[in-house]
């Protein structure tokens, strides 16, 4: 309805409230970023919250054939038995009888939780100390071989997470301590490391610290590189001792980077399955896999626990960095931060030490996996002491017909094994689709948030897009396993793609958001004045300007997905994708096939990383001393 008002001989029509609201809606949707944020906000909320809600409900569900069904006598419906049994609470069944619970509380919950916290905590310490010290050497000193070291240091992160775990096992295991065949140190040098060194907390923490030290190097190194030279110059002029300069200026400046590293490393380590699995350490992830056989509801509680830890780490990080420290210099000149002179001998010694360290963490795994595929008995390095190389064999690669070949268990050689290459093709397909979907969604999220950066809804969408990254991979996998099983999607590429897309959106959204924030609004406004459609503005103006960051937003999910194991391990059979074949061949005793798959994955990832650098000109270590 519209009201008509007469002014003299002219009749003015006053629009109704409904028409005003409709006009406001049209005006709001006239800005493409508003529609993008509305649609993506709803989609991300459903696809992120629904699986999390499903896993919480699964803790109360009755699972036929599981302990909760057996002990309660129920075949369907909901029960609190799973919570009572895991935590030792009193449970009364439908007949009023009290069921004894909590007999395995220590083994199924308390000890795995403590072990997970210990492993994640020590991984954080190791990553910060190792990566932070290396970042200091590269950015603030005149260490030799800086360019090479900066590039090679990030290799452990680029490679699959379990790579160093397998290398550690092949190096230090011995028949006298861990059983099985002797590793390289025992068979060649006669060194038998103690059990705590071969398996358990120590090696798991060291391997994860080495793998995630790239986080510390990149985040802390960026602050070291960009630190205002006035601060240290002013402190030097005022005769401030070096120790006080470090504790009162340098350390507070890098605290946000340290906290961000703790957040990333702790959350990622907590969700790690292959490292504690191969190094025989019981954590929440390994215990989940064990319990999921006949205690599915209680296993889901472990997944909820992992998610709660991720949320707690995020809240702690936000509280610790809510107030930024600022400094005002009272004297001193502005200038370049001077490098610390390590001396002619010191700079060379430090350089050689890190060359040796990175040799074992970056190049040795490739050589070790390649060598394993030529040994008649993988893990047996006796030929190195005898010098007899005639025992080396190509059977693991070239066997094409003789299925009775010793030790092959009916499998064809790697080059002729359709099981491996079909699984690799499946992994490649999932990685490409996940990269396309997560890259596109992440780019649109970054665009919408950058345009409406002061909007509460934009902040909500941004947080929803980033939330899956903070959740442990296994917890996200469990959530999609529950919802996928209920929808009949188990063991389908659809479920793998859905889980991978949601998990990897943060990579693309962060890359896109950072690049979109650098664009001036005038660039797009000038195109709007000329009535250029939104899709053409994106394709012809915005994307070409920020193509490096946007391409990275597509390539990073691809590179991460192609080496993913923990996220997908519950969502399909062992032969569906190539990373899951590791356990399949491990159970068969075909360890040479394990090494070959790892070698193929590493080479593929390194080639993809080189392609990213060539296409985008970007590198993880760029600006920190690398080329």
More reliable by pLDDT, 251 or 2: 251
pLDDT at 459 over 90: no
Per-residue pLDDT for 624 more than 50?
Answer: no
Residues 575-578: contacts with CB under 8 Å, at least 24 apart: 575/419, 575/423, 576/423, 576/426, 576/491, 576/496, 577/423, 577/426, 577/427, 577/430, 577/496, 578/420, 578/423, 578/424, 578/426, 578/427
Are 445 and 40 a contacting pair, CB within 8 Å? yes
pLDDT at 625 over 80: no
573 CB-side CA count, 13 A? 7
161: three-class secondary structure by DSSP: coil
Give the pLDDT band of residue 254 (cuts 50, 70, 90): confident
CA distance 122 to 126: 6
Q: What is the pLDDT of residues 307-343, one digit of tens each?
A: 888 778 767 766 665 554 554 444 444 455 567 788 8
Residues 366 and 197: their CA atoms lie apart, in Å, by 23
CA distances from 60 to 32, 68, 80, 83 (A): 42, 10, 6, 8
Least confident of 23-37, 187-201, 308-322, 390-404: 308-322
User: Where is average pLDDT lowest: 169-178, 275-284, 469-478, 509-518?
Assistant: 509-518
pLDDT tens for each residue of 401-421 = 766 666 677 788 889 889 999
Burial class of residue 217 (count of CB atoms within 10 Å of its CB; 0-12, 13-18, 19+): buried
Classified as helix, coil or strand, 451 is helix
Cα angle value 594/599/603 (rounded, 5°): 150
Q: Using alpha carbons, list the distances in angstroms from residue 411 to 5, 297, 404.
A: 89, 37, 9
> Which pTM was predicted?
0.83
Return the pLDDT at 261: 82
DSSP state of 12: E
SS3 at position 99: strand
User: Highest mean pLDDT range out of 70-74, 306-310, 346-350, 395-399?
Assistant: 346-350
The residue with greater pLDDT, 379 or 146, is 146
Note the pLDDT tens digit of each residue in 136-154. 888 888 898 888 888 888 8
Which segment of 3-7, 36-40, 79-83 scores lowest on mean pLDDT?
A: 3-7
Helices (H) then strands (E): counts for the chain: 32, 4
431-455 per-position pLDDT tens digit: 999 999 998 898 888 888 888 877 8
Query: Parallel, antiparallel, or unpaired for β 10-14 and 3-7?
Result: antiparallel
pLDDT of residue 71 exceeding 90: no
Domains annotated for the chain, with CATH where assigned, are 30-59+399-627 (1.10.3720.10), 104-291+343-393 (1.10.3720.10)
- Residue 616: the pLDDT is 64
Residue 208 clears pLDDT 90, i.e. is over it: yes
pLDDT tens string 497-538 = 999 999 988 878 877 776 777 676 777 777 777 788 877 887
**57 pLDDT exceeds 60?**
yes
Tell me: pLDDT of 574 over 50. yes
In this predicted structure, what is the pLDDT of residue 433? 94
- DSSP 8-state assignment for residue 92: E
Return the pLDDT at 507: 79
Quote the mean pLDDT of the chain: 81
Separation CA 462–CA 40 (nearest Å): 10
Q: In this structure, are residues 561 and 430 in contact, taking their beta carbons and an 8 Å threshold?
A: yes
**How many percent of the chain have pLDDT more than 70?**
86
């Amino acid at each position: 309805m519209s009201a008509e008002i007469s002014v003299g001989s002219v009749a003015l029509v006053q629009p109704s409230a409904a028409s005003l609201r409709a006009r406001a809606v049209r005006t709001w949707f006239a800005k493409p970023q508003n529609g993008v944020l509305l649609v993506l906000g709803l989609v991300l909320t459903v696809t992120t919250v629904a699986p999390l809600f499903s896993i919480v409900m699964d803790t109360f569900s009755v699972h036929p054939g599981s302990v909760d069904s057996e002990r309660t006598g129920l075949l369907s419906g909901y029960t609190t038995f799973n919570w009572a049994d895991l935590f030792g609470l009193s449970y009364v069944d439908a007949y009023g009888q009290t069921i004894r619970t909590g007999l395995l509380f220590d083994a199924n919950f308390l000890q795995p939780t403590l072990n997970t916290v210990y492993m994640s905590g020590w991984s954080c310490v190791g990553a910060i100390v190792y990566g932070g010290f290396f970042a200091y050497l590269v950015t603030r000193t005149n260490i030799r071989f800086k360019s090479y070291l900066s590039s090679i240091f990030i290799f452990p992160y680029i490679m699959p997470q379990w790579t160093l775990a397998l290398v550690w096992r092949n190096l230090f295991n011995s028949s006298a301590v861990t059983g099985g065949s002797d590793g390289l140190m025992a068979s060649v040098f006669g060194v038998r490391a103690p059990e705590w060194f071969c398996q358990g907390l120590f090696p798991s923490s060291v391997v994860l610290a080495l793998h995630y030290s790239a986080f510390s190097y990149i985040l802390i190194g960026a602050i070291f590189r960009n630190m205002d030279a006035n601060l240290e110059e002013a402190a030097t002029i005022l005769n401030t001792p070096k120790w006080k300069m470090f504790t009162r200026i340098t350390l507070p400046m890098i605290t946000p980077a340290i906290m961000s590293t703790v957040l990333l490393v702790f959350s990622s380590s907590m969700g790690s399955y292959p490292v504690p699995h191969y190094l025989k350490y019981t954590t929440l992830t390994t215990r989940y896999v064990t319990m999921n056989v006949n205690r599915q509801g209680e296993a889901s509680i472990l997944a909820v626990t992992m998610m709660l830890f991720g949320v707690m780490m995020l809240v702690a990080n936000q509280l610790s960095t809510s107030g930024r420290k600022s400094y005002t210099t009272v004297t001193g000149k502005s200038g370049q931060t001077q490098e610390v002179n390590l001396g002619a001998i010191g700079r060379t010694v430090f350089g050689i030490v890190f060359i040796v360290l990175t040799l074992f963490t970056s190049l040795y795994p490739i050589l070790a996996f390649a060598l394993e595929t030529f040994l008649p008995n993988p893990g047996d390095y006796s030929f190195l002491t005898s010098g007899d190389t005639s025992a080396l064999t190509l059977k693991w690669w070239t066997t094409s017909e003789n299925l009775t070949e010793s030790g092959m268990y009916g499998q064809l050689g790697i080059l002729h094994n359709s099981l491996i290459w079909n699984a690799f093709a499946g992994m490649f397909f999932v990685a490409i689709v996940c990269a396309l979907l997560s890259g596109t969604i992440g780019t649109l999220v970054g665009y919408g948030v950058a345009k409406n950066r002061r909007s509460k809804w934009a902040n909500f969408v941004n947080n929803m897009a980033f939330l899956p990254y903070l959740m442990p991979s296994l917890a996200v996998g469990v959530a999609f396993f529950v919802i996928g099983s209920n929808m009949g999607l188990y063991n389908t590429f659809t479920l793998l793609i859905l889980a991978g897309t949601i998990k990897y959106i943060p990579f693309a959204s962060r890359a896109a958001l950072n690049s979109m924030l650098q664009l001036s609004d005038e660039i797009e406004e000038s195109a709007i004045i000329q009535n250029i459609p939104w899709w053409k503005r994106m394709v012809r103006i915005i994307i070409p300007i920020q193509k490096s960051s946007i391409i990275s937003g597509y390539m990073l999910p691809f590179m991460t997905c192609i080496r993913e194991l923990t996220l997908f391990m519950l969502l399909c059979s062992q032969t569906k994708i190539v990373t899951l074949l590791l356990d399949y061949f491990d159970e068969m005793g075909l360890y040479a096939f394990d090494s070959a798959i790892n070698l193929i994955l590493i080479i593929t990832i390194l080639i993809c990383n080189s392609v990213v650098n060539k296409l985008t000109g970007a590198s993880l270590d760029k600006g920190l001393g690398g080329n």
